[in-house]
């Protein structure tokens, strides 16, 4: 090893990597069909090891000692509930006390020569960005998890894929690229967002190279479809798109491109965690890499299967920054273990249903902005684009949802009345609505610049 440098290919035992975390298509010929006992045995072994590693990290040792928890207490998967959870607020406090990385990292930058690593940061949609250090092992496993998801959703080895995610300090675009290039042998055109490569050029490239998928947000993919039509190109007939591993807008994407759209779930600190199969009976959790709990968003108490609550995530695969009972505040629910129509016994979860920390108590009722968006965008003349604001009017809280429509402006008032009636009927209280033209809320949603569109702003303390 020259002058103490251990390069990425020297830092990972690739034989062990693919044995422990099979990439596609091998994964879907083997571990995808593991029986419950095999799944849980594997989880427990990895959970015990991960707990011992996490205990060496100052953040976890401090919190676990204060709660009276020790890794040796984990003898069954059920014992994981004994470990205290933490939230993004705890991470922010760690960063403030130990800038700029906090004391929750499992590795430190001074180890970079012997432990190749990258630093990525959250998009900051729920506050100040959170840095996470990823080792080469973490990136490789994350690449495999992403490759599994894209393979299940229709991407095949050798495909040409346009990666139109915005390259920035977040890990999304890089994870897609690594999954495609390193684990699916795809030809990747890394175009980046429309701010980097114009939308017209993206369509030209997709047509010229016969791209099987354009990876980006659902909103931008639909915008590209509109651009294609302006160019005289039919997105369904003239492009070769046959996979849409994108985020959101399922019905419209399927209608526009004529191919099925499947949901997935992941977040900044762990990459891909769960994917929907063609049976559409929930999102299969990669249980060789995760244990998922669901807790009450306000108290952190355990919730029964089927009840909506906050995801509390423990990863089992990383060697860098641990996520061990991380109450991420993404809302979903768990399904009882059972065999899916596809044959898999993997535990399944519901789709992402909003943010627990976006909850607003409005006249005694708990509301989530994403729930308002789901109701409002069901209006036949509404697009999928919306933005919710909470504000103070006099002595009480109010919420207003701005919904984008391509209808003539003369129809806005009728739509507004209909939207408010829909919201009142579903929620039992009055929510203000307004109808706006395409592009009117782009500055709020940051749809063309952020890694994912923002949908909520709290203006009560503004």
Whichever domain contains 165, its CATH number is 3.40.50
**Which two three-digit tokens encode residue 328?**
């991420």
Quote the CA–CA distance of 145 and 314 in Å, as a whole number.
15
Same domain, yes or no: 314 and 429: no
Closest CA to 305 of 279, 273, 338: 338
Sheet of 456-458: strands edge to edge?
432-436, 396-405, 382-393, 456-458
| Token output for 287 | 């249980």
Does residue 384 lie within any of the structural domains? yes
- Please say if the pLDDT value at position 124 is more than 90: no
pLDDT tens for each residue of 177-200: 999 999 999 999 999 888 899 999
Residues 124 and 163 in one domain: no
Tell whether 208 and 288 lie within a shared domain: no
Q: Are residues 101 and 174 in the same domain?
A: no
Greater confidence (46 vs 392) lies with 46
324 has pLDDT over 90: yes
* pLDDT tens-digit series, residues 92-121: 899 999 999 999 999 999 999 999 999 998
Query: What CATH number corresponds to the domain at position 386?
Result: 3.30.300.30
Structure token pair of residue 274 = 């769960």
Reading the block at residue 387, the tokens are 């933005």
Taking the C-alpha atoms of residue 270 and residue 266, their distance in angstroms, rounded to an integer, is 7
Q: DSSP class of residue 450?
A: S
The candidate with the shortest Cα–Cα distance to 319, out of 106, 89, 120, 65, is 106
pLDDT single digits (tens) 193-237 = 888 999 999 999 999 999 999 998 887 898 899 999 999 999 999
Contacts of 232 (CB under 8 A, 6+ apart): none
pLDDT at 70: 98
Average pLDDT over residues 432-448: 93
Q: How far is Cα 269 from Cα 139, in angstroms, rounded to an integer?
A: 11
Q: Count of CB atoms within 10 A of residue 118's CB?
A: 15
Task: Please state, in angstroms and rounded to a whole number, the distance separating the CA atoms of residues 312 and 295.
Answer: 7
Are both 219 and 240 inside the same structural domain?
yes
Q: How far is CA 198 from the centre of its chain?
A: 25
Residues above pLDDT 70, as percent of the chain: 95
Q: Do 233 and 282 share a structural domain? A: no
Cα separation, 249 vs 383, in Å, equals 9
Residue 148 pLDDT > 60: yes
User: Is 32 within a domain?
Assistant: yes
Answer yes or no: are the C-beta atoms of 83 and 50 closer than 8 Å.
Answer: no
Q: What's the half-sphere exposure (Cβ side, CA atoms, 13 Å) at 257?
A: 27
Domain final residue pick, 317, 349, 381 = 349
Shared domain check, 256 and 312: no
The DSSP bridge pattern shows strands 309-315 and 326-332 to be antiparallel
- Evaluated on CA atoms 305, 286, 163, 10, the torsion sign reads positive
Is the predicted pLDDT of residue 160 greater than 50, yes or no?
A: yes
Percent share of the chain, pLDDT over 90? 74
Co-location of 236 and 164 in the same domain: yes
Q: How far is CA 57 from CA 108, 232, 256, in A?
A: 11, 57, 48
H-helix segments, 312-462 = 369-376, 412-427, 442-445
pLDDT digits (tens, 9 = 90+) for 369-382: 888 998 999 999 99
In this structure, are 106 and 167 located in the same domain? no
- Residue 180 CB: number of other CB atoms within 10 A? 26
198 and 248 inside one domain: yes
Q: Are residues 273 and 257 in the same domain?
A: no
Residues 217 and 241 in one domain: yes
Q: Reply yes or no on whether the pLDDT at 126 is more than 50.
A: no
Whether residue 149 lies inside any domain: the answer is: no
Average pLDDT over residues 434-454: 87
Structural domain boundaries enclosing 367: 359-458
Q: Is 277 helix (H, G, I), strand (E, B) or coil?
A: coil
pLDDT at 2 > cutoff 60 = no
Is 147 part of any domain?
Answer: no
**Least-confidence region, from 55-59, 132-136, 328-332, 419-423:** 328-332
Number of structural domains the chain divides into:
3
């Amino acid at each position: 090893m020259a002058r103490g440098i251990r390069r990425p290919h020297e830092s990972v035992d690739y034989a062990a990597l693919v044995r422990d975390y099979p990439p596609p298509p091998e994964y879907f010929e083997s571990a995808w069909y593991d029986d419950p006992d095999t799944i849980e045995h594997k989880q427990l072994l990895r959970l015990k090891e991960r707990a011992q590693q996490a205990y060496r990290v100052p953040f976890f040792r401090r919190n676990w000692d204060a709660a009276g928890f020790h890794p040796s207490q984990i003898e069954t998967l059920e014992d994981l509930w004994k470990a205290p959870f933490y939230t993004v607020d705890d991470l922010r406090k760690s960063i403030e006390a130990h800038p700029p990385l906090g004391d929750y990292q499992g590795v430190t930058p001074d180890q970079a020569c012997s432990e190749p690593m990258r630093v990525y940061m959250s998009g900051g949609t729920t506050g100040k960005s959170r840095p996470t250090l990823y080792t080469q092992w973490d990136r490789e496993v994350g690449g495999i998890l992403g490759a599994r998801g894209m393979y299940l959703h229709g991407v095949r080895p050798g495909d040409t894929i346009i990666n139109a995610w915005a390259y920035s300090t977040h890990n999304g675009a890089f994870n897609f690229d690594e999954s495609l290039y390193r684990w699916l042998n795809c030809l990747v055109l890394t175009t980046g967002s429309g701010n980097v490569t114009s939308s017209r050029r993206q369509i030209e490239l997709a047509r010229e190279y016969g791209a099987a998928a354009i990876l980006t947000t659902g909103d931008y993919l639909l915008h590209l479809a509109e651009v294609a039509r302006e160019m005289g190109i039919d997105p369904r007939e003239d492009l070769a798109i046959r996979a849409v591993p994108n985020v959101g807008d399922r019905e419209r994407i399927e209608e526009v491109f004529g191919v099925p759209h499947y949901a997935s779930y992941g977040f900044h600190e762990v990459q891909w965690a769960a994917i929907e199969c063609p049976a559409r009976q929930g999102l299969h959790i990669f249980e060789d890499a995760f244990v998922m709990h669901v807790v009450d968003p306000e108290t952190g108490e355990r919730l029964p299967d089927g009840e909506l609550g906050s995801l509390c995530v423990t990863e089992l695969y990383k060697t860098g920054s641990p996520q061990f009972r991380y109450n991420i505040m993404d809302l979903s629910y768990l399904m009882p273990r059972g065999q899916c129509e596809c044959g898999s016994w993997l535990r399944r979860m519901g789709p992402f249903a909003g943010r627990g920390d976006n909850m607003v108590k409005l006249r005694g009722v708990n509301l989530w902005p994403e729930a308002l968006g789901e109701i409002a965008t069901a209006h036949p003349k509404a697009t999928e684009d919306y933005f919710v604001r909470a504000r103070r009017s006099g002595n009480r809280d109010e919420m207003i949802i701005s919904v984008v429509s391509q209808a003539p402006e003369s129809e806005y008032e009728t739509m507004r009345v209909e939207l408010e009636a829909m919201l009142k009927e579903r929620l039992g209280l009055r929510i203000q609505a307004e109808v706006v033209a395409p592009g009117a809320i782009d500055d709020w949603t940051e749809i063309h610049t952020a890694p994912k569109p923002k949908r909520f702003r709290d203006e009560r303390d503004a």
